[in-house]
Amino acid sequence: MRLSQEKAREIASLLNYRHSGLVVAVAQDYETNEILMVAYMNREAVEKTLTTGEAHYWSTSRKKLWRKGEESGHVQRVIDFYVDCDADAVLLRVEQVGAACHRGYRSCFYRKVVEGELLICAQKVLEPEEVYGGVSSGRG
């Protein structure tokens, strides 16, 4: 998915940016429907995502725009871009290259509550140290 800058601006202007000028962004695998991650987007991230076809997000911890995969190479190619009924959240159906989670799992949702305990329920697909040189906080 790639739109012109004009069309991307038009779509971005329709969103209801709450929470410090941000919308919630959910990334979902377009083939398996697996939820990969949840992040935030500001207007610039929405426009860049729509014009480049790759997911861009706003890092609330680093206070900067980032392209998913800019450090790891594990990009998200956007197949579909959905907007919810209140226009304050978006759903990106993506082709995930590599791991979505900076901790080495395909999905950030690799833990599950089982009988009152939080258990890891997925296999790592990579070691973060090999990609980032150490466990990062929110890197892509």
- Percent of the chain predicted with pLDDT > 90: 88
Q: How far apart (Å, rounded) are the C-alpha atoms in residues 89 and 12?
A: 12
Helix spans in the chain (H): 5-13, 43-52, 128-132
* 23-41 tens-digit pLDDT: 999 999 999 999 999 999 9
Torsion angle in degrees (nearest 10) through CA of 84, 90, 95, 100: -130
Is residue 135 over pLDDT 70? no
Q: How far apart (Å, rounded) are the C-alpha atoms in residues 18 and 120?
A: 32
Which CATH code for domain 5-100?
A: 3.10.20.810
The reported pLDDT for the residue numbered 140 is 56
Q: Which residue has the tokens 């197949």?
A: 79
All structural domains of the chain with their residue ranges: 5-100
The reported pLDDT for the residue numbered 19 is 74
* 85-98 tens-digit pLDDT: 999 999 999 999 99
The reported pLDDT for the residue numbered 137 is 47
Nearest residue to 84 (alpha-carbon basis) of 20, 5, 25, 32: 25
Could you tell me which residue, 140 or 41, shows the higher pLDDT? 41
Q: How far apart (Å, rounded) are the C-alpha atoms in residues 84 and 106?
A: 25
